[in-house]
Structure 1
Amino acid sequence: MLADVLVTTSSAGDLPDPIESVRAIAVALFEAVADRPWLGAYFMRDTGVQQNGLALFERLGQQMLRLDLTPRQRFHAVSTVIGFVVGVAADMGQQPPREVLAGEVTREEHLARFVAEWRALDAEAFPFIHHVADEFEDHDDAEQFRAGLDLILTGLRDQAGQG
Protein backbone atom coordinates (compact mmCIF):
# COMPACT_ATOMS: atom_id res chain seq x y z
CA MET A 1 0.00 0.00 0.00
CA LEU A 2 2.79 2.42 0.82
CA ALA A 3 4.43 1.56 -2.48
CA ASP A 4 1.46 3.24 -4.16
CA VAL A 5 2.03 6.36 -2.04
CA LEU A 6 5.69 6.35 -3.06
CA VAL A 7 4.72 6.14 -6.73
CA THR A 8 2.09 8.88 -6.34
CA THR A 9 4.57 11.18 -4.60
CA SER A 10 7.63 10.37 -6.72
CA SER A 11 7.73 13.86 -8.23
CA ALA A 12 6.63 15.74 -5.08
CA GLY A 13 10.25 16.62 -4.34
CA ASP A 14 10.42 18.49 -7.64
CA LEU A 15 8.10 21.22 -6.38
CA PRO A 16 9.96 24.50 -5.82
CA ASP A 17 8.51 24.92 -2.31
CA PRO A 18 9.50 22.15 0.13
CA ILE A 19 6.42 22.89 2.28
CA GLU A 20 4.18 22.22 -0.72
CA SER A 21 6.14 19.01 -1.33
CA VAL A 22 5.46 17.94 2.27
CA ARG A 23 1.78 18.78 1.78
CA ALA A 24 1.55 16.63 -1.36
CA ILE A 25 3.21 13.67 0.37
CA ALA A 26 1.07 14.10 3.49
CA VAL A 27 -2.18 14.23 1.53
CA ALA A 28 -1.27 11.08 -0.42
CA LEU A 29 -0.41 9.26 2.81
CA PHE A 30 -3.64 10.49 4.42
CA GLU A 31 -5.74 9.15 1.57
CA ALA A 32 -4.00 5.75 1.72
CA VAL A 33 -4.46 5.38 5.48
CA ALA A 34 -8.04 6.73 5.45
CA ASP A 35 -8.90 4.04 2.88
CA ARG A 36 -7.10 1.35 4.95
CA PRO A 37 -7.11 2.37 8.65
CA TRP A 38 -5.08 -0.73 9.60
CA LEU A 39 -2.16 0.74 7.64
CA GLY A 40 -1.51 3.36 10.31
CA ALA A 41 -0.71 0.74 12.93
CA TYR A 42 1.92 -0.87 10.71
CA PHE A 43 3.44 2.22 9.13
CA MET A 44 6.81 2.33 10.91
CA ARG A 45 6.57 -0.83 13.02
CA ASP A 46 9.41 -2.80 11.43
CA THR A 47 11.38 -0.84 8.88
CA GLY A 48 13.56 -3.88 8.13
CA VAL A 49 10.50 -5.60 6.70
CA GLN A 50 8.41 -2.58 5.79
CA GLN A 51 10.94 -0.61 3.82
CA ASN A 52 8.31 1.53 2.12
CA GLY A 53 7.52 3.18 5.46
CA LEU A 54 11.18 4.03 5.86
CA ALA A 55 11.31 5.30 2.27
CA LEU A 56 8.33 7.58 2.93
CA PHE A 57 9.96 8.87 6.14
CA GLU A 58 13.08 9.59 4.04
CA ARG A 59 11.05 11.32 1.32
CA LEU A 60 9.53 13.69 3.87
CA GLY A 61 12.92 14.15 5.54
CA GLN A 62 14.55 15.16 2.28
CA GLN A 63 12.07 18.02 2.04
CA MET A 64 13.08 19.10 5.55
CA LEU A 65 16.71 19.18 4.39
CA ARG A 66 15.67 21.97 2.04
CA LEU A 67 14.61 24.11 5.01
CA ASP A 68 16.81 26.07 7.40
CA LEU A 69 16.25 23.79 10.40
CA THR A 70 18.42 21.92 12.87
CA PRO A 71 18.55 18.10 12.75
CA ARG A 72 16.32 17.99 15.84
CA GLN A 73 13.78 20.37 14.26
CA ARG A 74 13.76 18.27 11.09
CA PHE A 75 13.23 15.06 13.06
CA HIS A 76 10.41 16.65 15.05
CA ALA A 77 8.84 18.05 11.89
CA VAL A 78 8.75 14.73 10.04
CA SER A 79 7.55 12.90 13.15
CA THR A 80 4.81 15.48 13.69
CA VAL A 81 3.59 15.37 10.11
CA ILE A 82 3.51 11.57 10.06
CA GLY A 83 1.89 11.34 13.49
CA PHE A 84 -0.81 13.82 12.54
CA VAL A 85 -1.49 12.30 9.12
CA VAL A 86 -1.60 8.69 10.30
CA GLY A 87 -3.55 9.47 13.46
CA VAL A 88 -6.23 11.58 11.80
CA ALA A 89 -6.54 9.26 8.81
CA ALA A 90 -6.87 6.17 11.00
CA ASP A 91 -9.49 7.91 13.12
CA MET A 92 -11.48 9.17 10.13
CA GLY A 93 -11.15 5.86 8.33
CA GLN A 94 -12.90 3.89 11.05
CA GLN A 95 -16.06 2.11 10.10
CA PRO A 96 -19.19 4.19 10.69
CA PRO A 97 -21.55 3.12 13.49
CA ARG A 98 -23.78 0.11 12.83
CA GLU A 99 -26.95 2.18 12.38
CA VAL A 100 -25.27 4.36 9.73
CA LEU A 101 -23.97 1.29 7.89
CA ALA A 102 -27.41 -0.32 8.04
CA GLY A 103 -28.97 2.82 6.60
CA GLU A 104 -31.15 3.33 9.67
CA VAL A 105 -29.75 6.86 10.06
CA THR A 106 -27.68 9.07 7.79
CA ARG A 107 -24.28 10.46 8.74
CA GLU A 108 -25.95 13.84 9.17
CA GLU A 109 -28.59 12.42 11.51
CA HIS A 110 -25.88 10.63 13.49
CA LEU A 111 -23.87 13.84 13.90
CA ALA A 112 -27.04 15.79 14.73
CA ARG A 113 -27.51 13.58 17.81
CA PHE A 114 -24.13 14.63 19.15
CA VAL A 115 -24.75 18.26 18.31
CA ALA A 116 -28.09 18.15 20.17
CA GLU A 117 -26.27 16.72 23.21
CA TRP A 118 -23.64 19.46 22.93
CA ARG A 119 -26.26 22.18 22.68
CA ALA A 120 -27.98 20.78 25.78
CA LEU A 121 -24.80 21.31 27.82
CA ASP A 122 -24.51 24.34 30.09
CA ALA A 123 -23.20 27.15 27.87
CA GLU A 124 -21.26 28.72 30.73
CA ALA A 125 -19.48 25.46 31.58
CA PHE A 126 -18.88 24.56 27.90
CA PRO A 127 -18.51 27.83 25.96
CA PHE A 128 -16.19 26.34 23.34
CA ILE A 129 -18.47 23.36 22.65
CA HIS A 130 -21.36 25.76 22.09
CA HIS A 131 -19.18 27.97 19.92
CA VAL A 132 -18.25 25.15 17.50
CA ALA A 133 -21.42 23.03 17.53
CA ASP A 134 -22.62 24.34 14.15
CA GLU A 135 -19.19 23.71 12.62
CA PHE A 136 -19.14 20.14 13.93
CA GLU A 137 -22.62 19.43 12.59
CA ASP A 138 -21.66 20.35 9.01
CA HIS A 139 -17.95 19.54 8.98
CA ASP A 140 -16.13 17.73 6.19
CA ASP A 141 -13.50 15.28 7.44
CA ALA A 142 -11.06 15.87 4.57
CA GLU A 143 -11.36 19.65 4.97
CA GLN A 144 -10.75 19.29 8.71
CA PHE A 145 -7.62 17.22 7.98
CA ARG A 146 -6.28 19.79 5.53
CA ALA A 147 -6.92 22.63 8.00
CA GLY A 148 -4.91 20.80 10.67
CA LEU A 149 -2.13 20.06 8.20
CA ASP A 150 -2.09 23.75 7.24
CA LEU A 151 -1.59 24.69 10.91
CA ILE A 152 1.39 22.35 11.18
CA LEU A 153 2.93 23.46 7.89
CA THR A 154 2.48 27.15 8.73
CA GLY A 155 4.34 26.56 11.99
CA LEU A 156 7.05 24.67 10.12
CA ARG A 157 7.39 27.49 7.58
CA ASP A 158 7.69 30.02 10.42
CA GLN A 159 10.27 27.90 12.25
CA ALA A 160 12.34 27.69 9.06
CA GLY A 161 12.19 31.46 8.67
CA GLN A 162 10.03 31.37 5.56
CA GLY A 163 6.91 32.89 7.15
Structure 2
Amino acid sequence: MAEGGGSAASPGGENLLFLTDEQLRKGIEAMFFAYRGFTADPDRILETRGYGRAHHRAIHFINRQQGQTVNTLLAMLGVTKQSLNRVLRTLIEDGLVESRVGRKDKRERHLFLTEEGRALERSLSEAQRVRMRAAYRAAGPAAVAGFRQVLEAMMDPDLRRHYQAMKESG
Protein backbone atom coordinates (compact mmCIF):
# COMPACT_ATOMS: atom_id res chain seq x y z
CA MET A 1 0.00 0.00 0.00
CA ALA A 2 1.06 3.58 -0.50
CA GLU A 3 0.86 4.33 3.20
CA GLY A 4 3.52 2.59 5.23
CA GLY A 5 5.97 2.36 2.33
CA GLY A 6 4.22 -0.33 0.25
CA SER A 7 3.16 -0.17 -3.37
CA ALA A 8 -0.01 1.65 -4.39
CA ALA A 9 -0.88 -1.14 -6.81
CA SER A 10 -1.88 -4.66 -5.90
CA PRO A 11 -0.34 -7.72 -7.61
CA GLY A 12 -3.36 -7.67 -9.96
CA GLY A 13 -2.48 -4.10 -10.97
CA GLU A 14 -5.49 -2.56 -9.22
CA ASN A 15 -4.86 0.87 -7.80
CA LEU A 16 -5.60 0.73 -4.07
CA LEU A 17 -5.87 4.49 -3.67
CA PHE A 18 -8.93 4.68 -5.93
CA LEU A 19 -11.29 1.75 -6.27
CA THR A 20 -14.03 1.60 -8.84
CA ASP A 21 -17.57 0.67 -7.91
CA GLU A 22 -16.98 -2.67 -9.64
CA GLN A 23 -13.89 -3.39 -7.51
CA LEU A 24 -15.82 -2.46 -4.37
CA ARG A 25 -18.75 -4.66 -5.44
CA LYS A 26 -16.36 -7.60 -5.85
CA GLY A 27 -14.99 -6.98 -2.36
CA ILE A 28 -18.49 -6.79 -0.89
CA GLU A 29 -19.46 -10.03 -2.57
CA ALA A 30 -16.26 -11.73 -1.43
CA MET A 31 -17.07 -10.61 2.13
CA PHE A 32 -20.60 -12.06 1.90
CA PHE A 33 -19.37 -15.41 0.62
CA ALA A 34 -16.46 -15.55 3.06
CA TYR A 35 -18.83 -14.81 5.95
CA ARG A 36 -21.12 -17.57 4.75
CA GLY A 37 -18.20 -20.00 4.81
CA PHE A 38 -16.94 -18.67 8.14
CA THR A 39 -20.31 -19.26 9.81
CA ALA A 40 -21.28 -22.53 8.07
CA ASP A 41 -19.55 -24.97 10.43
CA PRO A 42 -20.64 -23.25 13.66
CA ASP A 43 -24.18 -22.92 12.27
CA ARG A 44 -24.37 -26.70 11.87
CA ILE A 45 -23.20 -27.21 15.47
CA LEU A 46 -25.63 -24.57 16.79
CA GLU A 47 -28.54 -26.05 14.83
CA THR A 48 -28.27 -29.32 16.76
CA ARG A 49 -29.16 -27.34 19.90
CA GLY A 50 -31.74 -25.07 18.31
CA TYR A 51 -29.43 -22.05 18.63
CA GLY A 52 -28.56 -19.31 16.19
CA ARG A 53 -25.74 -16.88 15.58
CA ALA A 54 -26.84 -14.59 18.41
CA HIS A 55 -26.18 -17.46 20.83
CA HIS A 56 -22.78 -18.00 19.23
CA ARG A 57 -21.79 -14.35 19.57
CA ALA A 58 -22.88 -14.28 23.21
CA ILE A 59 -20.98 -17.48 24.01
CA HIS A 60 -17.88 -16.23 22.21
CA PHE A 61 -17.72 -12.88 23.99
CA ILE A 62 -18.66 -14.24 27.41
CA ASN A 63 -15.81 -16.72 27.03
CA ARG A 64 -13.47 -13.96 25.89
CA GLN A 65 -14.15 -11.89 29.00
CA GLN A 66 -15.51 -14.12 31.77
CA GLY A 67 -17.30 -12.10 34.45
CA GLN A 68 -18.29 -9.20 32.23
CA THR A 69 -21.59 -7.53 32.97
CA VAL A 70 -24.72 -7.90 30.90
CA ASN A 71 -24.43 -4.19 30.03
CA THR A 72 -20.89 -4.65 28.71
CA LEU A 73 -22.01 -7.56 26.55
CA LEU A 74 -24.99 -5.53 25.39
CA ALA A 75 -22.73 -2.68 24.27
CA MET A 76 -20.33 -5.03 22.53
CA LEU A 77 -23.00 -6.94 20.61
CA GLY A 78 -25.08 -3.89 19.74
CA VAL A 79 -28.40 -5.67 20.16
CA THR A 80 -31.51 -4.72 22.08
CA LYS A 81 -31.75 -5.59 25.74
CA GLN A 82 -34.84 -7.68 24.99
CA SER A 83 -33.01 -9.67 22.31
CA LEU A 84 -29.98 -10.30 24.52
CA ASN A 85 -32.15 -11.27 27.48
CA ARG A 86 -33.94 -13.85 25.34
CA VAL A 87 -30.59 -15.38 24.26
CA LEU A 88 -29.12 -15.28 27.79
CA ARG A 89 -32.23 -16.81 29.33
CA THR A 90 -31.93 -19.80 26.97
CA LEU A 91 -28.20 -20.21 27.60
CA ILE A 92 -28.70 -19.99 31.37
CA GLU A 93 -31.64 -22.43 31.37
CA ASP A 94 -29.63 -24.87 29.26
CA GLY A 95 -26.73 -24.74 31.73
CA LEU A 96 -24.20 -23.06 29.43
CA VAL A 97 -24.01 -19.66 31.12
CA GLU A 98 -24.08 -18.68 34.76
CA SER A 99 -25.27 -15.24 35.85
CA ARG A 100 -23.91 -14.03 39.19
CA VAL A 101 -24.93 -10.98 41.20
CA GLY A 102 -22.23 -8.31 41.37
CA ARG A 103 -20.20 -8.08 44.57
CA LYS A 104 -19.92 -4.30 44.50
CA ASP A 105 -23.22 -3.51 42.80
CA LYS A 106 -26.02 -5.99 43.45
CA ARG A 107 -27.90 -4.68 40.39
CA GLU A 108 -25.17 -5.93 38.06
CA ARG A 109 -25.20 -9.41 36.60
CA HIS A 110 -21.83 -10.95 35.72
CA LEU A 111 -21.70 -13.66 33.08
CA PHE A 112 -19.59 -16.81 33.08
CA LEU A 113 -19.56 -19.89 30.88
CA THR A 114 -20.08 -23.18 32.64
CA GLU A 115 -17.89 -26.17 31.77
CA GLU A 116 -20.52 -27.24 29.23
CA GLY A 117 -20.58 -23.71 27.82
CA ARG A 118 -16.79 -23.68 27.49
CA ALA A 119 -16.92 -27.04 25.68
CA LEU A 120 -19.47 -25.69 23.20
CA GLU A 121 -17.43 -22.53 22.70
CA ARG A 122 -14.31 -24.63 22.00
CA SER A 123 -16.10 -26.67 19.33
CA LEU A 124 -17.54 -23.54 17.68
CA SER A 125 -14.28 -21.62 17.68
CA GLU A 126 -12.20 -24.62 16.61
CA ALA A 127 -14.32 -24.95 13.48
CA GLN A 128 -13.63 -21.30 12.69
CA ARG A 129 -9.94 -21.48 13.61
CA VAL A 130 -9.44 -24.34 11.14
CA ARG A 131 -10.94 -22.25 8.34
CA MET A 132 -9.07 -19.07 9.37
CA ARG A 133 -5.76 -20.88 9.73
CA ALA A 134 -6.04 -22.41 6.24
CA ALA A 135 -6.99 -19.06 4.70
CA TYR A 136 -4.20 -17.20 6.51
CA ARG A 137 -1.62 -19.78 5.43
CA ALA A 138 -2.79 -19.59 1.82
CA ALA A 139 -2.75 -15.78 1.80
CA GLY A 140 0.54 -15.22 3.61
CA PRO A 141 1.62 -12.83 6.40
CA ALA A 142 1.38 -9.58 4.43
CA ALA A 143 -2.16 -10.35 3.29
CA VAL A 144 -3.16 -11.32 6.84
CA ALA A 145 -1.87 -8.01 8.21
CA GLY A 146 -3.62 -6.11 5.41
CA PHE A 147 -6.85 -8.01 5.96
CA ARG A 148 -6.81 -7.17 9.66
CA GLN A 149 -6.18 -3.49 8.83
CA VAL A 150 -9.17 -3.48 6.47
CA LEU A 151 -11.43 -5.11 9.07
CA GLU A 152 -10.33 -2.66 11.77
CA ALA A 153 -10.86 0.30 9.44
CA MET A 154 -14.44 -0.90 8.78
CA MET A 155 -15.32 -0.98 12.50
CA ASP A 156 -17.40 1.78 14.03
CA PRO A 157 -15.27 3.77 16.52
CA ASP A 158 -17.10 2.43 19.61
CA LEU A 159 -16.67 -1.16 18.49
CA ARG A 160 -13.04 -0.52 17.57
CA ARG A 161 -12.46 0.57 21.19
CA HIS A 162 -13.98 -2.71 22.45
CA TYR A 163 -11.86 -4.63 19.95
CA GLN A 164 -8.66 -2.79 20.96
CA ALA A 165 -9.37 -3.43 24.64
CA MET A 166 -9.85 -7.12 23.95
CA LYS A 167 -6.63 -7.26 21.89
CA GLU A 168 -4.71 -5.66 24.74
CA SER A 169 -6.15 -8.02 27.35
CA GLY A 170 -4.87 -11.04 25.44
| TM-score for both structures, normalised by structure 2 | 0.26
Q: Which structure has the higher relative contact order (CA within 8 Å, separation 6+)?
A: 1
Higher strand proportion: 2
Q: TM-score, normalised by structure 1?
A: 0.27
